[in-house]
Structure 1
Amino acid sequence: MSDTAKSVSGNSNRKAELLSTTVEHIDITSFDARPIIDAMGKMSFTSRDLARATRIYNQMLEDKDCTIFLVIAGSTSAGGCMDLYAELIRSNMVDCVVATGATIVDMDFFEGLGHKHYQALEVPDDDTLRSLYIDRIYDTYIDEEQLQDCDFTINKIANELEPKAYSSRAFIREMGKYLAQHGKKENSLVKLAYEHDVPIFCPAFVDSSAGFGLVKHQVDRMKEGKPYMMIDAIADFRELTDIKIKAGESGLLMVGGGVPKNFIQDTVVCAEILGHEDVAVHKYAVQITVADVRDGACSSSTLQEAASWGKVNTGIEQMVFAEAGSVMPLLASDAWHRQKDRTRTPRRWAKLFAD
């Protein structure tokens, strides 16, 4: 065997070794967190904050007039919460999703195509990972070659669409349709949202694996002298504001912060700008984050601070300063077990738009 062949074989073996243990996503239906949350409510510090946040989420679910927005930033989907979010869709516990492109494309759609995330049992030099085409998210690995399959699939979807402007919601719906026809994972947030008419918005959609596929789509079409599709960020804001205007009362369940958090909160202000001064601020709000308040940000302001902008109600809100992957399973399991025997009317806000 030549030195080159030995090197290729060695790299292949090393890559297989590093990508040998898949991340297993937690199943919130398999355990009942209600006793834990009840006990934490009698404690102090973050435990009591989490118990109160869980009670607020249950209030949202019990409020027959409340539309619930699930807002996701960060990498909890890659870290093991992917099936948790999918279950909230399946069980009619959220009505609309606002998330980062990475959450929707690089993580959920990626697994919907049959790919996996892997536990990093060791973290070698990142230059070594690069030579093996392994991408790292803290202690989680992604096979870059599989991620490129995600890029090319996005490109394929774009090539088959009418060349015009689409909101991220409209394009993600096409992604869900693709998974419904060709996907390899039943428990996909994107697929289930398509099937349950739950709209998904990504205000910075191309800041993800989708960006590569869409850029290739435009470049190829430009070379051919043909029209191309594009993502309309203004339509995103308009459509999400339309939902808020028609929804009335609303609640926010937010994991992380940043652009998705600010985007959904700004719908109240946008509604006012459009002349709908009777649109209420978000009645309920929960945010789970590790972001700091001392730099004036907290990944897009604390909930109390957001009240000064006319975005949320200060009466029914809770900040939980914790790593979301460690507390969301408890909150979601508690809520699922309390709500499983109740009937909540599906909002099906995706039907508001004629794509």
Structure 2
Amino acid sequence: MNNIANDTRKAELLSTTVEHVDIKSFDARPIIDAMGKMSFTSRDLARATGIYNQMLADPDCTIFLVIAGSTSAGGCMDLYAELVRSNMVDGIVATGASIVDMDFFEGLGHKHYQALEIPDDNTLRSLYIDRIYDTYIDEEQLQDCDHTIGRIADSLKPRGYSSREFIRAMGKYLKEHGKKENSLVKLAYEHDVPIFCPAFVDSSAGFGLVKHQVERMKEGKPYMSIDAVADFRELTDIKIKAGTTGLLMIGGGVPKNFIQDTVVCAEILGHEDVEMHKYAVQITVADVRDGACSSSTLKEAASWGKVDTALEQMVFAEAGSVMPLLASDAYHRGHWKTRAKRAWGKIFG
């Protein structure tokens, strides 16, 4: 194919943008109420929504949003942003992909696209189109994200940074140069909601940070780096100071284990009186039989001293299909309107 044909084909495939759900535009309370009188996943979702509302209504509860998977690319990006804007979460633990490749990426003005057809993946590769199931990303735009991360790294003093620190710098960049008002990274910066990515370089950030380090090494200059231990220490510090905590978890993996481990870490540091996470909701499609962290039930986490079993709920469902209902219900019940703003990001100066 010649370049003109390539450009035309690429434009055809990237013609329909993913539109992110607006939880304010509909009231899911009647649906959740009805589901509570049903069975199976419907009832599980209604109970999970009730637990999230209890977190919001508890004046002592700090709420962590925990995100793994590709729900941000799939249409939940504005949903997560609204949770920050409306003071419905106080801290975020996520995969690097959710924060960098998806939210920061759109904050720079780029888009995700619906795959109306899925041609051979080698064809997609030849057109520089990346695929997430039925969603497309323009690889050239993603590389702009990589290079932007590199430029942010170049602007920082050469030392170790927690992912929270670096993501705060990303939020500041979007506030000054961003193209999207409704960015989770930007709003978290503005509201002092700390974001932690325990595997930060497993994302577009990794490419930009490697480029930063390689170029600095060639010049014989010191470089910045990501301090994963600082992530764990800072997040544990929030847990110790917060006391009562609740978890709203989408998917599993590293973010789920990382936030749960803060209880054990606090104990190791001598805080014997640290509370287990009082509330916990997890939405996942993972099977429990392989012993993986993504699929371990919340009751299992209680055996490790991480999560209390009284107010926990597993919901085995694709998160993009149920999170809009849960979040819309909680938004319209309005417990967030009287919540104290915690601004945990401020404790790090």
Give the TM-score range, shorter chain: over 0.9
Offset from partner CA, 1:165-222 (integer Å, 9 cap, x none):
0000000000000000000000000000000000000000000000000000000000
Q: Which runs of 5+ in 2 are unaligned?
A: none
Residue correspondence of structure 1 range 155-194 to structure 2 within 5 A? 155-194=150-189
SS in 2 for 1:141: strand
**AA matched with 2:59:** K
Cα distance in 2, alignment partners of residues 259 and 341 from structure 1: 28
Matched, 1:11 2:6: yes
Q: Corresponding residue for 1:334?
A: 329
| Overall identity of the aligned pairs, in % | 85
State the Cα distance separating 1:342 from its structure 2 match. 2.8
Q: Corresponding residue for 2:107?
A: 112
Cα distance in 2, alignment partners of residues 198 and 290 from structure 1: 28
Paired residues of 2:57 and 2:336 also in contact (CA < 8 A): no
Which portions of structure 1, spanning 4 or more consecutive aligned residues, are displaced by more than 2 angstroms? none
State the Cα distance separating 1:343 from its structure 2 match. 1.4
Q: Corresponding residue for 1:197?
A: 192
Partner residue of 1:266 out of 261, 266, 271: 261
SS in 1 for 2:66: strand
Q: Corresponding residue for 2:130?
A: 135
Q: Corresponding residue for 1:244?
A: 239
Cα distance in 2, alignment partners of residues 171 and 16 from structure 1: 34
Matched, 1:216 2:211: yes
State the Cα distance separating 1:300 from its structure 2 match. 5.2
SS in 1 for 2:98: helix
Offset from partner CA, 1:266-304 (integer Å, 9 cap, x none):
000000000001110000000000000011125152100
Paired residues of 2:257 and 2:293 also in contact (CA < 8 A): no
Cα distance in 1, alignment partners of residues 335 and 175 from structure 2: 25
Residue correspondence of structure 1 range 29-40 to structure 2 within 5 A? 29-40=24-35
Paired residues of 1:289 and 1:323 also in contact (CA < 8 A): yes
TM-score, with length taken from structure 1: 0.97
State the Cα distance separating 1:340 from its structure 2 match. 6.3
Residue correspondence of structure 1 range 76-91 to structure 2 within 5 A? 76-91=71-86
Paired residues of 1:288 and 1:324 also in contact (CA < 8 A): yes
Cα distance in 1, alignment partners of residues 258 and 150 from structure 2: 26
What is the aligned-residue RMSD (CA, Å)?
0.8
SS in 2 for 1:254: strand
TM-score, with length taken from structure 2: 0.99
Paired residues of 1:268 and 1:281 also in contact (CA < 8 A): yes
Cα distance in 2, alignment partners of residues 177 and 342 from structure 1: 26
**AA matched with 2:122:** D
Q: Corresponding residue for 2:221?
A: 226
Q: Which runs of 5+ in 1 are unaligned?
A: 1-5
Q: Corresponding residue for 1:48?
A: 43
Paired residues of 1:99 and 1:200 also in contact (CA < 8 A): yes
Cα distance in 2, alignment partners of residues 300 and 51 from structure 1: 20
Cα distance in 2, alignment partners of residues 60 and 297 from structure 1: 27
Matched, 1:317 2:312: yes
Cα distance in 2, alignment partners of residues 276 and 180 from structure 1: 38
Paired residues of 1:292 and 1:298 also in contact (CA < 8 A): no
SS in 1 for 2:4: helix
Partner residue of 2:341 out of 326, 330, 346: 346
**AA matched with 2:17:** T
Paired residues of 2:86 and 2:336 also in contact (CA < 8 A): no
Offset from partner CA, 1:320-345 (integer Å, 9 cap, x none):
00000000000000000001673111
Cα distance in 2, alignment partners of residues 342 and 104 from structure 1: 26
Cα distance in 1, alignment partners of residues 274 and 204 from structure 2: 35
Cα distance in 2, alignment partners of residues 186 and 15 from structure 1: 27
Paired residues of 1:82 and 1:189 also in contact (CA < 8 A): yes
Matched, 1:93 2:76: no
Paired residues of 1:70 and 1:97 also in contact (CA < 8 A): yes
Paired residues of 1:291 and 1:298 also in contact (CA < 8 A): no
Offset from partner CA, 1:227-261 (integer Å, 9 cap, x none):
00000000000000000000000000000000000
